[in-house]
Every structure is written in C-alpha cells, then in structure tokens.
C-alpha cells in the first residue's frame, strides 16, 4: 500500500506494541516513527521524540494491556509529548482498551473506570481514538472526541473460511447473551448453526454455565468472544458443550489477556484450538498453551484504518464482511 501525503504521516509505537506497529507500518509502506521511551530509577516514564512531528498527522499505537497502569500512563505521556511537539493531529490507537470491563456501576460504591480512562485520554489532548473490539460498544460514548471502533471479525472470518472444509458440521456457540449478535453473524458468514449458553457470573473470576439453547451434538463448536481473560467463561462453556455431545471445540478471541490461571485452565480444557490476534502480545507464561494457540494479525486492518483516517476517507468499507462488535 502507498499512502498519499506520506510526508505528513507519522506512526509511533509504545513499548508493548512494537511488533504490531511494525506490521502496521509495513502495510503503510513507511518506516515507524522514532522515539525513545525510558523509565527513571523511581519508575517514572519519559518519552523523547527523535523525529520532527511539527504539523504532522501522528498516530501512537499502544495497547493498555498488562501492566495496565504502566501502559496507560505511557500512552498519556506519549500523547502529551506529541502535542507539545506541535503535531497537527494525534490519534491514540488503542488495539486493546484496558479497564473496559469497568463500564458501569454493577453494585454500590464502585467507580466507572472505563469512563475515567476516556476522560484521561481526552485530557491528554488526543484528537481521536482508534480501538479494536471494545468490551462494550457503548464505551465509544464515554469519549468527547471522535472514536473509530473496529472489529477483528474480518480477520477471523477470512481465517475460518480458508479452513471451512476442515470444520465440517459447524455450530457457533455464544458464550453469553451479550455476544449473540456476533455469533449469529459468524454463523451466517461461515454457514453454521447457532447455539447460546445461559451464563451466571458469581464473581470477577468465576462463572456458572447452566444450559445450552440449541443443538451442538456431533458438531464442531466455534466460540467467538472479544477477549479471553481468566479463561473461566470459555472453559465452562467448552465443558458444557462436550457434555452436550460436541465433537470438537474451537475458541476465538480478539484480545489474549490470559490472566490468572487462564493458561492452566485452557491447557486442561477440551478446547483443541485457541485463535487470537496480536492486539496485545502473548504473556511470558503462555508456553504450555502454545500448541493450541494460533495468532492472527490485525496489522493490515489497523494500517488500512490509519490510511483512511489520514486521508480523511470513510472507514466504513472496512466493516464489510464483518460479524459486528459485542453489544
């Protein structure tokens, strides 16, 4: 791809997103912007730009994954640095948006941290935000600046369509009621049936699955979600699907958070394959799970979006053949 007015575009990366940013820049056929990011002995972060950004359209790619607070602060400092260096426009590209699950008051005396993070990014003077598969689509409304919300579903659809013959009799299983629309769209795009799990969450790390609405007996079950965090939801769903007669279990999730006992749970689970993207890099403890993992890249998707934003074009074309986002 060749970007018009390439002289005016700069794409920078935070420390956690170097590999993804390299793929984005390869798609854009341009070098990655140069910056030095360091931590002082007292753990404070400093960003020093090594490229001139005056009057330029700047994008900083930085997922707020683990360590969440450190990466969030690095993003805010990077935005501030670009604005103070006279960048014409700064877009925060946040492939994985941390704190997204704290998007409402589900009990008394708790914060709505997703809104707080939106306020912080806005206060840092970002002009717009580009995100992938927010945990809840309404988080877009937490921002007082433009938000472009992409979904990784075209990447998953292309991958599974290329292997459709191997999947056989397919059933898309929604792991919760909030993901039914996405599962239904995948079922239409891939040519499969739809089933739904009735789930009750007991705590932040424990869920109980009650029953499956639909038939999975003798079928390849594909579960698609926005993230795999502790693995509780996917593993409970997979166990239930096997008890209901499923032949094979495949899981797909945009964000491989893999926190807590996720790796241990997934290794022991009947899930034969876990397909994820590179919105956040796999953590160092994922080794035992590697035989089951397939990592797809959203670099081309983000590169296309950045290209269109830079040239003030609509990015609606990127939503074709998409399964939508989680509601």
- The DSSP call for residue 322 is -
* CA 165 to each of CA 53, 155, 190, 255, 325: distance values in angstroms, whole numbers, following the listed order: 49, 18, 11, 26, 26
Preceding omega of 67 cis (within 30 degrees of 0):
yes
Three state DSSP letters for 247-314? CEEEEEEEEECCCCCHHHHHHHCCEEEEEEECCCCCCCCCHHHHHHEEEECCHHHHHHHHHHHHCCCC
Three state DSSP letters for 45-106? EEEEECCCCCCCEEEEECCCCCCHHHHHHHHHHHHHHHHHCCCCEEEEEECCCCCCCCCCCC
CB 209 within 8 A of CB 240: yes
Answer yes or no: 268 catalytic: no
Cα-only R_g, the chain: 20
Phi, psi of 170 (to 5 degrees): -105, 140
Identify the CA nearest to 27 among candidates 297, 278, 320, 314.
297
Q: Which member of 83, 199, 219, 326 is catalytic? A: 199
Helix/strand/coil for 327: coil
CB 21 within 8 A of CB 32: yes
Distance CA 217, CA 285 (A): 34
Q: Which residues are tagged catalytic?
A: 199
């Amino acid at each position: 791809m060749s970007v018009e007015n390439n002289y005016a575009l700069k794409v920078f990366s935070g420390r956690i997103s170097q590999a993804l940013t390299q793929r984005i820049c390869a798609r854009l056929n341009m070098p990655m912007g140069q910056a030095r990011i360091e931590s002082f002995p007292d753990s404070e972060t400093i960003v020093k730009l090594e490229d001139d950004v005056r009057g330029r359209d700047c994008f900083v790619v930085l997922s707020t994954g683990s360590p969440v607070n450190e990466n969030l602060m690095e993003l805010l400092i990077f935005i501030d640095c670009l604005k103070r260096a006279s960048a014409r426009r700064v877009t925060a590209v946040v492939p994985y948006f941390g704190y997204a699950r704290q998007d409402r008051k589900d009990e008394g005396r708790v914060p709505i941290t997703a809104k707080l993070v939106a306020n912080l990014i806005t206060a840092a003077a970002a002009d717009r935000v580009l995100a992938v598969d927010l945990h809840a689509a309404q988080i877009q409304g937490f921002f007082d600046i433009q938000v472009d919300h992409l979904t990784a579903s075209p990447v998953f659809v292309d991958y599974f369509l290329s292997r459709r013959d191997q999947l056989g009799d397919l059933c898309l299983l929604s792991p919760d009621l909030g993901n039914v629309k996405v599962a239904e769209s995948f079922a239409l795009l891939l040519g499969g049936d739809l089933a739904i799990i009735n789930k009750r969450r007991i705590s932040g790390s424990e869920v109980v699955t009650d029953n499956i609405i639909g038939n999975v007996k003798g079928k390849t079950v594909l579960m698609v979600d926005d993230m795999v965090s502790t693995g509780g939801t996917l593993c409970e769903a997979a166990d239930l699907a096997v008890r209901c007669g499923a032949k094979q279990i495949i899981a797909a999730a945009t964000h491989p958070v893999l926190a807590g006992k996720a790796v241990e749970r997934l290794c022991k689970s009947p899930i034969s394959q876990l397909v994820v993207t590179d919105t956040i890099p796999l953590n160092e403890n994922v080794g035992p799970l590697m035989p089951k993992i397939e990592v797809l890249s959203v670099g081309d998707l983000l590169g296309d979006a950045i290209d269109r934003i830079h040239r003030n074009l609509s990015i609606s074309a990127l939503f074709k053949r998409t399964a939508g986002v989680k509601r």
